[in-house]
Structure 1
Amino acid sequence: MKKREIQLSRMWKYFVDATAEIIEQEGVENVTIRKVADKAGYNSATIYNYFSEISHLIFFASMRFMKSYTDEVALYIQKGKDPIEKYLLAWECFCNYSFKQPQIFHAVFIMDLGDHPEKLLKHYYQIYPNDLINIPEDLKLILFERNMSKRGRSLLEVALKEGYIKEENIDSINELTILIWEGIFTNILNNRKSYEFQEATKIVMNYISEIVMNANIFNFQKWDYTKSQSSIS
Protein backbone atom coordinates (compact mmCIF):
# COMPACT_ATOMS: atom_id res chain seq x y z
CA MET A 1 0.00 0.00 0.00
CA LYS A 2 1.37 3.42 -0.99
CA LYS A 3 2.15 6.06 1.63
CA ARG A 4 -0.79 8.25 0.57
CA GLU A 5 -3.18 5.30 0.77
CA ILE A 6 -1.89 4.42 4.23
CA GLN A 7 -2.50 7.99 5.40
CA LEU A 8 -6.04 7.99 3.96
CA SER A 9 -6.80 4.65 5.57
CA ARG A 10 -5.49 5.85 8.94
CA MET A 11 -7.62 9.00 8.85
CA TRP A 12 -10.66 7.01 7.72
CA LYS A 13 -10.25 4.67 10.68
CA TYR A 14 -9.93 7.58 13.12
CA PHE A 15 -13.39 8.81 12.20
CA VAL A 16 -14.98 5.35 12.01
CA ASP A 17 -13.57 4.33 15.39
CA ALA A 18 -14.70 7.63 16.94
CA THR A 19 -18.21 7.06 15.58
CA ALA A 20 -18.25 3.48 16.86
CA GLU A 21 -17.30 4.76 20.31
CA ILE A 22 -20.20 7.23 20.28
CA ILE A 23 -22.59 4.47 19.17
CA GLU A 24 -21.41 2.22 21.98
CA GLN A 25 -21.73 4.97 24.60
CA GLU A 26 -24.77 6.94 23.41
CA GLY A 27 -26.50 4.97 20.64
CA VAL A 28 -26.73 5.40 16.87
CA GLU A 29 -29.40 8.07 17.15
CA ASN A 30 -26.99 10.40 18.99
CA VAL A 31 -24.22 10.39 16.39
CA THR A 32 -23.49 13.84 14.94
CA ILE A 33 -20.68 15.14 12.75
CA ARG A 34 -19.64 17.56 15.49
CA LYS A 35 -19.40 14.80 18.12
CA VAL A 36 -17.36 12.59 15.80
CA ALA A 37 -15.01 15.45 14.91
CA ASP A 38 -14.50 16.38 18.56
CA LYS A 39 -13.79 12.79 19.59
CA ALA A 40 -11.39 12.23 16.68
CA GLY A 41 -9.64 15.54 17.31
CA TYR A 42 -10.40 17.21 13.97
CA ASN A 43 -12.84 19.81 12.72
CA SER A 44 -16.17 18.86 11.17
CA ALA A 45 -15.16 19.96 7.66
CA THR A 46 -12.32 17.44 7.60
CA ILE A 47 -14.76 14.53 7.91
CA TYR A 48 -16.35 15.42 4.57
CA ASN A 49 -13.00 14.83 2.88
CA TYR A 50 -13.49 11.14 3.66
CA PHE A 51 -17.26 10.61 3.94
CA SER A 52 -19.85 12.17 1.65
CA GLU A 53 -22.62 12.01 4.28
CA ILE A 54 -23.14 11.03 7.90
CA SER A 55 -25.13 7.90 6.95
CA HIS A 56 -21.96 6.42 5.43
CA LEU A 57 -20.01 7.13 8.59
CA ILE A 58 -22.73 5.49 10.71
CA PHE A 59 -22.82 2.51 8.34
CA PHE A 60 -19.07 1.89 8.56
CA ALA A 61 -19.06 2.35 12.33
CA SER A 62 -22.01 -0.01 12.73
CA MET A 63 -20.12 -2.64 10.75
CA ARG A 64 -17.55 -2.63 13.57
CA PHE A 65 -20.20 -4.33 15.72
CA MET A 66 -21.07 -7.01 13.15
CA LYS A 67 -18.08 -9.34 13.50
CA SER A 68 -19.64 -11.46 16.25
CA TYR A 69 -22.61 -12.03 13.93
CA THR A 70 -20.52 -12.89 10.86
CA ASP A 71 -18.40 -15.30 12.90
CA GLU A 72 -21.47 -16.93 14.43
CA VAL A 73 -23.50 -17.30 11.24
CA ALA A 74 -20.73 -19.39 9.69
CA LEU A 75 -20.95 -21.79 12.64
CA TYR A 76 -24.75 -21.85 12.46
CA ILE A 77 -24.82 -22.78 8.78
CA GLN A 78 -22.25 -25.55 9.23
CA LYS A 79 -24.69 -27.33 11.56
CA GLY A 80 -27.29 -27.70 8.81
CA LYS A 81 -27.65 -31.16 7.28
CA ASP A 82 -29.18 -29.89 4.03
CA PRO A 83 -29.70 -26.56 2.21
CA ILE A 84 -33.11 -25.90 3.77
CA GLU A 85 -31.83 -26.43 7.28
CA LYS A 86 -28.85 -24.19 6.50
CA TYR A 87 -31.27 -21.53 5.25
CA LEU A 88 -33.32 -21.70 8.44
CA LEU A 89 -30.25 -21.68 10.66
CA ALA A 90 -28.92 -18.62 8.82
CA TRP A 91 -32.22 -16.86 9.48
CA GLU A 92 -32.20 -17.91 13.13
CA CYS A 93 -28.76 -16.41 13.63
CA PHE A 94 -29.73 -13.24 11.77
CA CYS A 95 -32.87 -12.84 13.89
CA ASN A 96 -31.03 -13.35 17.16
CA TYR A 97 -28.45 -10.69 16.42
CA SER A 98 -30.73 -8.20 14.67
CA PHE A 99 -33.28 -8.26 17.49
CA LYS A 100 -30.51 -7.81 20.05
CA GLN A 101 -28.98 -4.87 18.12
CA PRO A 102 -31.79 -3.32 16.08
CA GLN A 103 -30.12 0.09 15.64
CA ILE A 104 -26.94 -1.52 14.33
CA PHE A 105 -28.74 -3.81 11.89
CA HIS A 106 -30.93 -0.96 10.70
CA ALA A 107 -27.84 1.08 9.91
CA VAL A 108 -26.21 -1.80 8.04
CA PHE A 109 -29.16 -3.31 6.15
CA ILE A 110 -32.00 -0.79 5.93
CA MET A 111 -30.81 2.81 6.27
CA ASP A 112 -30.71 4.81 3.02
CA LEU A 113 -27.07 5.01 1.91
CA GLY A 114 -27.66 6.48 -1.53
CA ASP A 115 -26.35 4.77 -4.66
CA HIS A 116 -24.33 1.55 -4.72
CA PRO A 117 -24.29 0.57 -1.01
CA GLU A 118 -22.47 -2.67 -1.92
CA LYS A 119 -19.42 -0.57 -2.77
CA LEU A 120 -19.42 0.72 0.80
CA LEU A 121 -19.55 -2.85 2.10
CA LYS A 122 -16.67 -3.89 -0.13
CA HIS A 123 -14.66 -0.85 0.96
CA TYR A 124 -15.23 -1.70 4.62
CA TYR A 125 -13.81 -5.20 4.23
CA GLN A 126 -10.84 -3.80 2.32
CA ILE A 127 -10.02 -1.62 5.33
CA TYR A 128 -10.84 -4.33 7.90
CA PRO A 129 -9.91 -7.62 6.18
CA ASN A 130 -9.46 -9.36 9.54
CA ASP A 131 -13.24 -9.32 9.92
CA LEU A 132 -13.35 -12.04 7.24
CA ILE A 133 -10.83 -14.38 8.84
CA ASN A 134 -12.22 -17.93 9.18
CA ILE A 135 -15.26 -17.08 7.03
CA PRO A 136 -15.85 -19.73 4.29
CA GLU A 137 -15.44 -18.43 0.74
CA ASP A 138 -19.02 -19.19 -0.27
CA LEU A 139 -20.33 -17.27 2.74
CA LYS A 140 -18.11 -14.27 1.95
CA LEU A 141 -20.08 -13.79 -1.27
CA ILE A 142 -23.26 -13.44 0.79
CA LEU A 143 -21.66 -11.14 3.38
CA PHE A 144 -20.53 -8.79 0.59
CA GLU A 145 -24.19 -8.42 -0.38
CA ARG A 146 -26.16 -5.79 1.57
CA ASN A 147 -29.44 -6.37 -0.24
CA MET A 148 -31.60 -8.60 1.95
CA SER A 149 -33.44 -10.12 -1.00
CA LYS A 150 -30.23 -11.13 -2.77
CA ARG A 151 -28.74 -12.55 0.43
CA GLY A 152 -31.74 -14.79 1.05
CA ARG A 153 -32.03 -15.86 -2.56
CA SER A 154 -28.39 -17.02 -2.62
CA LEU A 155 -29.14 -19.70 -0.02
CA LEU A 156 -32.42 -20.70 -1.65
CA GLU A 157 -30.74 -21.19 -5.01
CA VAL A 158 -28.52 -23.83 -3.43
CA ALA A 159 -31.66 -25.62 -2.24
CA LEU A 160 -33.08 -25.36 -5.76
CA LYS A 161 -30.00 -26.94 -7.35
CA GLU A 162 -30.21 -29.88 -4.93
CA GLY A 163 -33.91 -30.42 -5.55
CA TYR A 164 -35.33 -29.25 -2.24
CA ILE A 165 -37.57 -26.53 -3.64
CA LYS A 166 -39.23 -25.67 -6.92
CA GLU A 167 -37.97 -22.70 -8.92
CA GLU A 168 -41.40 -21.05 -8.96
CA ASN A 169 -41.40 -20.95 -5.14
CA ILE A 170 -38.06 -19.18 -4.58
CA ASP A 171 -39.33 -15.63 -4.90
CA SER A 172 -42.39 -16.17 -2.70
CA ILE A 173 -40.34 -17.87 0.04
CA ASN A 174 -37.70 -15.15 -0.11
CA GLU A 175 -40.11 -12.20 -0.11
CA LEU A 176 -42.41 -13.56 2.58
CA THR A 177 -39.61 -14.41 4.99
CA ILE A 178 -38.10 -10.93 4.62
CA LEU A 179 -41.49 -9.29 5.14
CA ILE A 180 -42.08 -11.30 8.32
CA TRP A 181 -38.70 -10.28 9.71
CA GLU A 182 -39.13 -6.64 8.69
CA GLY A 183 -42.53 -6.44 10.40
CA ILE A 184 -41.26 -7.66 13.77
CA PHE A 185 -37.99 -5.76 13.39
CA THR A 186 -39.74 -2.46 12.67
CA ASN A 187 -41.99 -2.86 15.70
CA ILE A 188 -38.96 -3.44 17.91
CA LEU A 189 -36.94 -0.63 16.33
CA ASN A 190 -39.78 1.86 16.80
CA ASN A 191 -40.54 0.69 20.35
CA ARG A 192 -44.00 -0.55 19.39
CA LYS A 193 -43.25 -3.99 20.84
CA SER A 194 -41.03 -4.93 23.76
CA TYR A 195 -40.08 -8.49 22.82
CA GLU A 196 -36.99 -10.10 24.29
CA PHE A 197 -34.77 -11.10 21.38
CA GLN A 198 -35.40 -14.81 22.01
CA GLU A 199 -39.16 -14.32 21.86
CA ALA A 200 -38.97 -12.24 18.69
CA THR A 201 -36.72 -14.84 17.06
CA LYS A 202 -39.10 -17.64 17.98
CA ILE A 203 -42.06 -15.79 16.46
CA VAL A 204 -40.26 -15.11 13.20
CA MET A 205 -38.76 -18.60 12.91
CA ASN A 206 -42.14 -20.24 13.44
CA TYR A 207 -43.59 -18.17 10.59
CA ILE A 208 -40.61 -18.85 8.33
CA SER A 209 -40.89 -22.57 9.02
CA GLU A 210 -44.53 -22.54 7.97
CA ILE A 211 -43.71 -20.58 4.80
CA VAL A 212 -41.03 -23.07 3.83
CA MET A 213 -43.17 -26.11 4.61
CA ASN A 214 -46.08 -24.78 2.55
CA ALA A 215 -43.92 -24.20 -0.53
CA ASN A 216 -43.63 -27.77 -1.83
CA ILE A 217 -40.49 -28.71 0.03
CA PHE A 218 -39.26 -32.21 -0.71
CA ASN A 219 -37.49 -34.65 1.62
CA PHE A 220 -37.44 -32.28 4.55
CA GLN A 221 -38.67 -32.69 8.10
CA LYS A 222 -40.45 -29.71 9.63
CA TRP A 223 -38.12 -27.30 11.41
CA ASP A 224 -38.80 -27.40 15.15
CA TYR A 225 -37.49 -24.14 16.54
CA THR A 226 -38.10 -25.19 20.17
CA LYS A 227 -35.67 -28.09 19.74
CA SER A 228 -32.95 -26.04 18.11
CA GLN A 229 -29.72 -26.19 20.06
CA SER A 230 -28.11 -23.30 18.25
CA SER A 231 -29.86 -20.35 19.90
CA ILE A 232 -27.63 -17.77 21.49
CA SER A 233 -27.99 -17.65 25.25
Structure 2
Amino acid sequence: MGNKKIQMSRMWKYFTEATVEIIEEEGIDQVTIRKVADRAGYNSATIYNYFKEVSHLIFFASMKLLKEYTEEVSVYMNKGQTPLEKYILSWECFCKHSFKQPAIFHAIFIMDLGDHPETLIERYYEMYPSDLINIPDELKPILFERNVTKRGKSLLQQAAKEGQINEQLVDSLNEMTILLWQGMLTNILNNRMDYTLEEAEQKTMKYILQIIENAA
Protein backbone atom coordinates (compact mmCIF):
# COMPACT_ATOMS: atom_id res chain seq x y z
CA MET A 1 0.00 0.00 0.00
CA GLY A 2 1.47 3.38 -1.05
CA ASN A 3 1.96 6.27 1.34
CA LYS A 4 -0.94 8.23 -0.18
CA LYS A 5 -3.30 5.30 0.22
CA ILE A 6 -2.12 4.71 3.79
CA GLN A 7 -2.78 8.37 4.59
CA MET A 8 -6.25 8.21 3.01
CA SER A 9 -7.06 5.05 4.97
CA ARG A 10 -5.89 6.65 8.21
CA MET A 11 -8.00 9.78 7.67
CA TRP A 12 -11.00 7.73 6.59
CA LYS A 13 -10.81 5.75 9.84
CA TYR A 14 -10.40 8.90 11.96
CA PHE A 15 -13.65 10.33 10.63
CA THR A 16 -15.54 7.03 10.71
CA GLU A 17 -14.57 6.32 14.31
CA ALA A 18 -15.39 9.90 15.36
CA THR A 19 -18.85 9.36 13.87
CA VAL A 20 -19.23 6.08 15.79
CA GLU A 21 -18.47 7.92 19.04
CA ILE A 22 -21.11 10.57 18.31
CA ILE A 23 -23.73 7.91 17.48
CA GLU A 24 -22.98 6.00 20.68
CA GLU A 25 -22.97 9.10 22.88
CA GLU A 26 -25.64 11.31 21.31
CA GLY A 27 -27.59 9.27 18.76
CA ILE A 28 -27.48 8.90 15.00
CA ASP A 29 -29.69 11.94 14.40
CA GLN A 30 -27.09 14.17 16.09
CA VAL A 31 -24.33 13.45 13.58
CA THR A 32 -23.19 16.50 11.61
CA ILE A 33 -20.11 17.19 9.51
CA ARG A 34 -19.00 19.89 11.93
CA LYS A 35 -19.30 17.63 14.99
CA VAL A 36 -17.35 14.86 13.29
CA ALA A 37 -14.64 17.27 12.18
CA ASP A 38 -14.32 18.81 15.63
CA ARG A 39 -14.06 15.42 17.31
CA ALA A 40 -11.48 14.17 14.81
CA GLY A 41 -9.47 17.39 15.11
CA TYR A 42 -9.90 18.64 11.55
CA ASN A 43 -12.01 21.25 9.78
CA SER A 44 -15.24 20.43 8.00
CA ALA A 45 -13.78 21.01 4.54
CA THR A 46 -11.25 18.22 5.07
CA ILE A 47 -14.02 15.63 5.49
CA TYR A 48 -15.29 16.31 1.98
CA ASN A 49 -11.95 15.12 0.61
CA TYR A 50 -12.93 11.65 1.83
CA PHE A 51 -16.75 11.56 2.04
CA LYS A 52 -19.27 13.01 -0.40
CA GLU A 53 -21.98 13.63 2.19
CA VAL A 54 -22.91 13.06 5.81
CA SER A 55 -25.07 10.02 4.95
CA HIS A 56 -21.89 8.20 3.86
CA LEU A 57 -20.23 8.93 7.19
CA ILE A 58 -23.30 7.62 9.00
CA PHE A 59 -23.34 4.53 6.78
CA PHE A 60 -19.70 3.64 7.45
CA ALA A 61 -20.07 4.25 11.19
CA SER A 62 -23.22 2.12 11.22
CA MET A 63 -21.31 -0.69 9.53
CA LYS A 64 -18.86 -0.61 12.44
CA LEU A 65 -21.80 -0.96 14.81
CA LEU A 66 -23.14 -3.92 12.79
CA LYS A 67 -20.35 -6.24 13.88
CA GLU A 68 -22.37 -7.99 16.58
CA TYR A 69 -24.96 -8.97 13.96
CA THR A 70 -22.45 -10.13 11.34
CA GLU A 71 -20.73 -12.33 13.91
CA GLU A 72 -23.97 -13.91 15.14
CA VAL A 73 -25.80 -14.51 11.86
CA SER A 74 -23.48 -17.36 10.88
CA VAL A 75 -24.09 -19.00 14.28
CA TYR A 76 -27.85 -18.79 13.71
CA MET A 77 -27.74 -20.13 10.16
CA ASN A 78 -25.50 -23.05 11.08
CA LYS A 79 -28.34 -24.38 13.22
CA GLY A 80 -30.45 -24.92 10.11
CA GLN A 81 -30.40 -28.16 8.15
CA THR A 82 -32.28 -27.00 5.05
CA PRO A 83 -32.29 -23.78 2.99
CA LEU A 84 -35.72 -22.86 4.35
CA GLU A 85 -34.60 -23.38 7.95
CA LYS A 86 -31.54 -21.23 7.27
CA TYR A 87 -33.76 -18.55 5.73
CA ILE A 88 -36.00 -18.46 8.81
CA LEU A 89 -33.02 -18.44 11.18
CA SER A 90 -31.35 -15.63 9.23
CA TRP A 91 -34.55 -13.60 9.63
CA GLU A 92 -34.66 -14.33 13.36
CA CYS A 93 -31.13 -12.99 13.73
CA PHE A 94 -31.82 -10.02 11.46
CA CYS A 95 -34.97 -9.05 13.37
CA LYS A 96 -33.28 -9.51 16.74
CA HIS A 97 -30.51 -7.07 15.87
CA SER A 98 -32.43 -4.66 13.64
CA PHE A 99 -35.09 -3.92 16.26
CA LYS A 100 -32.38 -3.64 18.89
CA GLN A 101 -30.64 -1.01 16.72
CA PRO A 102 -33.35 0.30 14.37
CA ALA A 103 -31.57 3.53 13.41
CA ILE A 104 -28.38 1.65 12.55
CA PHE A 105 -30.13 -0.87 10.31
CA HIS A 106 -32.17 1.89 8.68
CA ALA A 107 -28.95 3.73 7.85
CA ILE A 108 -27.46 0.64 6.22
CA PHE A 109 -30.43 -0.99 4.49
CA ILE A 110 -33.04 1.71 3.90
CA MET A 111 -31.55 5.23 3.94
CA ASP A 112 -30.89 6.90 0.59
CA LEU A 113 -27.12 6.90 0.00
CA GLY A 114 -27.07 8.03 -3.61
CA ASP A 115 -25.52 5.89 -6.32
CA HIS A 116 -23.84 2.50 -5.93
CA PRO A 117 -24.23 1.72 -2.19
CA GLU A 118 -22.61 -1.68 -2.74
CA THR A 119 -19.37 0.15 -3.57
CA LEU A 120 -19.48 1.72 -0.12
CA ILE A 121 -19.74 -1.72 1.47
CA GLU A 122 -16.72 -2.94 -0.49
CA ARG A 123 -14.80 0.14 0.64
CA TYR A 124 -15.75 -0.51 4.24
CA TYR A 125 -14.41 -4.08 4.25
CA GLU A 126 -11.31 -2.89 2.41
CA MET A 127 -10.63 -0.53 5.31
CA TYR A 128 -11.71 -2.99 8.02
CA PRO A 129 -10.80 -6.47 6.67
CA SER A 130 -10.62 -7.87 10.22
CA ASP A 131 -14.42 -7.57 10.38
CA LEU A 132 -14.58 -10.48 7.90
CA ILE A 133 -12.54 -12.82 10.09
CA ASN A 134 -14.46 -15.94 11.20
CA ILE A 135 -17.27 -15.25 8.71
CA PRO A 136 -17.90 -18.29 6.44
CA ASP A 137 -17.28 -17.76 2.72
CA GLU A 138 -20.93 -18.54 1.93
CA LEU A 139 -22.01 -15.54 4.01
CA LYS A 140 -19.57 -13.02 2.56
CA PRO A 141 -21.66 -12.30 -0.57
CA ILE A 142 -24.61 -11.53 1.74
CA LEU A 143 -22.53 -9.06 3.74
CA PHE A 144 -21.51 -7.28 0.53
CA GLU A 145 -25.16 -6.96 -0.55
CA ARG A 146 -26.99 -3.91 0.79
CA ASN A 147 -30.12 -4.79 -1.19
CA VAL A 148 -32.17 -6.75 1.35
CA THR A 149 -34.29 -8.31 -1.40
CA LYS A 150 -31.28 -9.96 -3.02
CA ARG A 151 -29.87 -11.06 0.34
CA GLY A 152 -32.69 -13.48 1.09
CA LYS A 153 -33.72 -14.61 -2.38
CA SER A 154 -30.89 -17.10 -2.94
CA LEU A 155 -31.93 -19.20 0.06
CA LEU A 156 -35.55 -19.22 -1.10
CA GLN A 157 -34.48 -20.34 -4.57
CA GLN A 158 -32.54 -23.22 -3.02
CA ALA A 159 -35.59 -24.10 -0.91
CA ALA A 160 -37.75 -24.16 -4.04
CA LYS A 161 -35.31 -26.48 -5.81
CA GLU A 162 -35.58 -28.89 -2.88
CA GLY A 163 -39.37 -28.74 -3.00
CA GLN A 164 -39.81 -26.92 0.31
CA ILE A 165 -41.78 -24.06 -1.21
CA ASN A 166 -43.61 -23.36 -4.45
CA GLU A 167 -41.08 -22.03 -6.97
CA GLN A 168 -43.62 -19.63 -8.42
CA LEU A 169 -43.99 -17.94 -5.03
CA VAL A 170 -40.29 -17.22 -4.41
CA ASP A 171 -40.40 -13.61 -5.61
CA SER A 172 -43.64 -12.69 -3.88
CA LEU A 173 -42.65 -14.41 -0.62
CA ASN A 174 -39.31 -12.63 -0.61
CA GLU A 175 -40.88 -9.27 -1.37
CA MET A 176 -43.60 -9.62 1.26
CA THR A 177 -41.14 -10.47 4.04
CA ILE A 178 -38.93 -7.52 3.09
CA LEU A 179 -41.84 -5.07 2.95
CA LEU A 180 -43.12 -6.36 6.28
CA TRP A 181 -39.76 -5.75 7.95
CA GLN A 182 -39.25 -2.37 6.31
CA GLY A 183 -42.74 -1.23 7.26
CA MET A 184 -42.40 -2.28 10.88
CA LEU A 185 -38.95 -0.76 11.28
CA THR A 186 -39.98 2.52 9.63
CA ASN A 187 -43.12 2.79 11.76
CA ILE A 188 -41.12 2.19 14.92
CA LEU A 189 -38.56 4.84 14.00
CA ASN A 190 -41.30 7.33 13.15
CA ASN A 191 -43.26 6.57 16.36
CA ARG A 192 -46.25 5.35 14.35
CA MET A 193 -46.74 2.31 16.59
CA ASP A 194 -46.65 1.93 20.34
CA TYR A 195 -44.98 -1.49 20.29
CA THR A 196 -41.87 -2.04 22.34
CA LEU A 197 -38.85 -3.07 20.27
CA GLU A 198 -39.27 -6.64 21.57
CA GLU A 199 -42.93 -6.69 20.54
CA ALA A 200 -42.04 -5.35 17.10
CA GLU A 201 -39.43 -8.08 16.69
CA GLN A 202 -41.85 -10.82 17.80
CA LYS A 203 -44.70 -9.63 15.61
CA THR A 204 -42.47 -9.31 12.57
CA MET A 205 -41.21 -12.88 12.95
CA LYS A 206 -44.76 -14.13 13.59
CA TYR A 207 -45.97 -12.63 10.31
CA ILE A 208 -42.89 -13.78 8.38
CA LEU A 209 -43.52 -17.36 9.53
CA GLN A 210 -47.17 -17.09 8.46
CA ILE A 211 -46.11 -15.90 5.02
CA ILE A 212 -43.66 -18.81 4.67
CA GLU A 213 -46.25 -21.36 5.82
CA ASN A 214 -48.67 -20.14 3.16
CA ALA A 215 -46.01 -20.62 0.49
CA ALA A 216 -45.12 -24.17 1.48
| TM more than 0.5 | yes
Letter in 1 for 2:20: A
Q: Please give the alpha-carbon distance, in whole angstroms, between the structure 2 residues aligned to 1:195 and 1:130.
A: 36
Instruction: Specify the alignment match of 1:63 in structure 2.
Output: 63
Instruction: Specify the alignment match of 1:137 in structure 2.
Output: 137
- What is the deviation of 1:109? 0.6
- What is the deviation of 1:194? 3.7
1:108–1:146 CA contact under 8 A, matched in 2: yes
Q: Please give the alpha-carbon distance, in whole angstroms, between the structure 2 residues aligned to 1:194 and 1:13.
A: 38
1:142–1:154 CA contact under 8 A, matched in 2: no
State the TM-score, normalized to the length of structure 1.
0.90
Q: Please give the alpha-carbon distance, in whole angstroms, between the structure 2 residues aligned to 1:162 and 1:3.
A: 52
Q: How does 1:39-188 map to 2 (within 5 A)?
A: 39-188=39-188
Instruction: Specify the alignment match of 1:8 in structure 2.
Output: 8
- What is the deviation of 1:89? 0.7
Deviations 1:181-217 (A, max 9, x none): 11211111112224333321211111111111111x2
Letter in 2 for 1:75: V
Q: Which runs of 5+ in 2 are unaligned?
A: none
Letter in 1 for 2:13: K
Work out whether 1:189 is the aligned partner of 2:189: yes
Deviations 1:94-126 (A, max 9, x none): 111111111101111111000100000011011
Q: Please give the alpha-carbon distance, in whole angstroms, between the structure 2 residues aligned to 1:116 and 1:87.
A: 26
Identity %: 65
- What is the deviation of 1:76? 0.5
Deviations 1:149-200 (A, max 9, x none): 1111122122123222232111110011011111211111112224333321
Letter in 2 for 1:46: T
Letter in 1 for 2:77: I
Q: Please give the alpha-carbon distance, in whole angstroms, between the structure 1 residues aligned to 2:144 and 2:163.
A: 26
Letter in 1 for 2:86: K
Moved more, 16-25 or 194-203: 194-203
Q: Please give the alpha-carbon distance, in whole angstroms, between the structure 2 residues aligned to 1:41 and 1:110.
A: 30
1:59–1:108 CA contact under 8 A, matched in 2: yes
Q: State the aligned residue count.
A: 216
Q: Which runs of 5+ in 1 are unaligned?
A: 218-233
Q: Please give the alpha-carbon distance, in whole angstroms, between the structure 1 residues aligned to 2:198 and 2:26.
A: 24
Letter in 2 for 1:69: Y
Q: Please give the alpha-carbon distance, in whole angstroms, between the structure 2 residues aligned to 1:35 and 1:197.
A: 29
Give structure 1 regions of 4+ aligned residues with deviation exceeding 6 angstroms.
Answer: none
Instruction: Specify the alignment match of 1:225 in structure 2.
Output: none
Richer in helix (by share): 2
Q: Please give the alpha-carbon distance, in whole angstroms, between the structure 1 residues aligned to 2:89 and 2:196.
A: 19
Q: Please give the alpha-carbon distance, in whole angstroms, between the structure 2 residues aligned to 1:194 and 1:96.
A: 18
State the TM-score, normalized to the length of structure 2.
0.97
2:161–2:167 CA contact under 8 A, matched in 1: no
- What is the deviation of 1:81? 1.9
1:63–1:108 CA contact under 8 A, matched in 2: yes
Instruction: Specify the alignment match of 1:226 in structure 2.
Output: none
Letter in 2 for 1:162: E
